[in-house]
Structure 1
């Protein structure tokens, strides 16, 4: 018999509307016994069933709801159905050679990320309840989806909030963890063992393609280039010259290898710089580009640091706007969930005002459609992406 949890009066309304999280502060009491990681049932104050999911009382997110069907068992068939639903969705909407195969809450499996790189899969478990089902997930990826290998990249700090250790390693027989993928006609070396996130930023796939139309015959500056993905798309699109900069020499080395892989080394170059410092110097020198791309890391990962993040986003956009030739283009984005769309928009507007330039919006986009935004779970919406003409 599953342990039953009851919520305070007035609590759980978001969960009743489909949000999968139940916080510690919402729980009034429970009946029965449980161990962390167990599947428990959740009821509102009237005793009406809301859903069932796994519990971890170490976490502020105490229960993550897996199903709203009281009769649905959380077993291998459950995960088979969820994985096939996720795959069938992606087959319809995106190139699936390399993609986010499953996106946690937005695919109704809270706490689990699965990325697919050709025939190899990387999983990330962000919650204790998912750890209990890891072997089942690996079996399904192998049996149903033909995975040649599965690697775990659960080396993320959020696990510590769950009372869990960070971990990474092979979940199948070992294999070479560096291999080649193709996206938008661009080739990349991907290192799923040591690369950022699970090896590559898949969420910008469609946005990288969107810059092709503005980069032909252009001089392009790509800031925070990482392994060169936007810079290489500019090169493939026919840019006259591309300079990618990043503070990490390791990233610059990897980006240069990717340029060579695409036979773009003559057009696409990379240099190691701190973007904040060097843009200030170059703007004073009067250096300008047809296209400036700003794809910084998240400047905030919590509500408490939003003010400093706003200062960071304003500063980098101010400097970026100054580097754009009149009539040229600014590509700018934020990958922080806590940088709300309106706040990001206002911050860019303030930067343009201080730069004494006007922005004409060409396009607004979000994360690629293999990272779907579930309207009942606003945490699934995090990436904001603009293309502006600077006049």
Structure 2
């Protein structure tokens, strides 16, 4: 639908967009090389894309998190900018204490990173700015983020606090921005159900769910992951919170199959795998994988025990995910009593003009064995 300009424009150029009839549509980021040709940032003809525009967007984002949500009263970390929902398509910014990690998904932020950084430092005195590059995104955008990543280089780690949980965020080896803030409220909610229970945290990453459970009085907690560096940080986090968690470097599928073969069950199981569908071609495989992991996970929950199962694949809808869980429950010979469905923490809003921003599904359920006919008789 885009008639590309005759003159060459570098990837990420800020442009004005007009219709074929010459009517103003908006202003945004243009990149012929990207699969998103234009990212509109404003449809207001009076707004120009200058330093003041980006400062205002960041100021509005801060207002939501602090003046309305009041996250700073319980946590010193939150997502400040969540892409389209905050009017800055292609930009993610996470606040970790006094450090802001900026993750650009669009070449458009290459030339204006100084505007972003100076605005952050004006809004948050004494803050440190880190830019993290994603090589796959850079390749898709046809640019390199290496120069700005070097200009806003990372220190090794930062300590954060969410509710009563303290965590070390490794800014060198951590995934994405370093820590998954979208599960903040789900970690806290689940922990309230874990007192005197044994907890299994699958795909545990740096241990957030398991450690939160122990802080809330869980009897024991085990964390499983294949990322050795994440597990190193997880063990450090357990020490930081003065709790004992058993972390194991192993494949979650194999671990659950072994538990099933030995007849071992536990009180609480958390299933929080990484994104399984990043594009439409991966959706069918994601459905199968979600089905497999949930079928296995349900079988290791004690009768009446709890399951928290999550999907962060935006291409798998809540309706589809619930349908997958229904099939998995039938195959596992159990019934799920779903009592709560949540999503990402409120600092990860979504917009009516970009509903795809609602990506995380978190299903809280009790698990019961399916009664067979002979058992009823």
* TM-score, structure 2 normalization: 0.92
User: Structure 2 vs 1, CA of residues 166 and 140 (structure 1 numbering), >3 Å: closer, same or farther?
Assistant: closer
- Structure 1 residues 313 and 216, CA, compared in 2 at 3 Å: closer, same or farther? same
Aligned counterpart for 1:130 among listed residues 103, 106, 109: 109
CA distance in 1, matches of 2:136, 2:145: 7
Select which of 86, 91, 94 maps to 1:112. Answer: 91
Question: 2: distance between equivalents of 1:94 and 1:334?
Answer: 27
Equivalent residue, structure 2, for 1:69: 44
Deviation at 1:147, TM superposition (A): 4.0
Q: In 1, are the aligned partners of 2:339 and 2:365 still within 8 Å (CA)?
A: yes
**Shift of residue 32, structure 1, vs aligned partner:** 7.3
1:84-127 Cα offsets, whole Å, 9 max, x none, are 00000111215231111111111001111111111111111111
**1:220-235 to 2 correspondence within 5 Å?**
220-235=199-214
Task: Give structure 1 regions of 4+ aligned residues with deviation exceeding 4 angstroms.
Answer: 28-35
Range that drifts further, 272-281 or 139-148: 139-148
Corresponding residue pairs, total: 363
* Cα displacement (A) at 1:166: 4.8
**TM-score normalised according to structure 1 size:** 0.89
User: Any conservation in 1 of the 2:350–2:357 contact (CA below 8 Å)?
Assistant: yes
**What is the RMSD computed on CA atoms of the aligned residues?**
1.8
Distance 1:35 1:254, change over 3 A: closer
Q: Shift of residue 45 of structure 1? A: 4.5
Query: In the aligned structure 1, how far is the partner of 2:251 from the partner of 2:154?
Result: 35
Query: How far 1:282 sits from its partner (Å)?
Result: 0.7
Say whether residues 1:89 and 2:68 are aligned partners. Answer: no
Of residues 345, 357, 360, the one that matches 2:334 is: 357
Q: Counterparts in 2 of 1:245-284, with a 5 A limit?
A: 245-265=224-244, 268-284=245-261
8 Å CA contact retained: 2:154, 2:171: no
CA drift at 1:31: 7.8
Kindly indicate whether the alpha-carbon contact (under 8 Å) linking 2:308 and 2:363 is maintained by their aligned counterparts in 1: yes
Separation (CA, whole Å) in 2 of partners of 1:30 and 1:309: 39
**Are 1:214 and 2:193 an aligned pair?**
yes
- Cα deviation, residue 35, structure 1: 4.2
- The separation in 2 between residues aligned to 1:245 and 1:175, in whole angstroms, is 28
Give ranges in structure 2 of 5+ residues lacking alignment. 369-377
- State how far apart, in whole Å, the 2-side matches of 1:85 and 1:225 are: 33
Equivalent runs, 1:1-391 vs 2, <5 Å: 26-28=1-3, 34-91=9-66, 92-96=68-72, 97-167=76-146, 169=149, 171-172=151-152, 176-265=155-244, 268-391=245-368
Task: Give yes or no for contact 1:150–1:171 (8 Å, CA) kept in 2.
Answer: no
> Is contact 1:94-1:370 (8 Å) kept?
no
**How far 1:73 sits from its partner (Å)?**
1.2
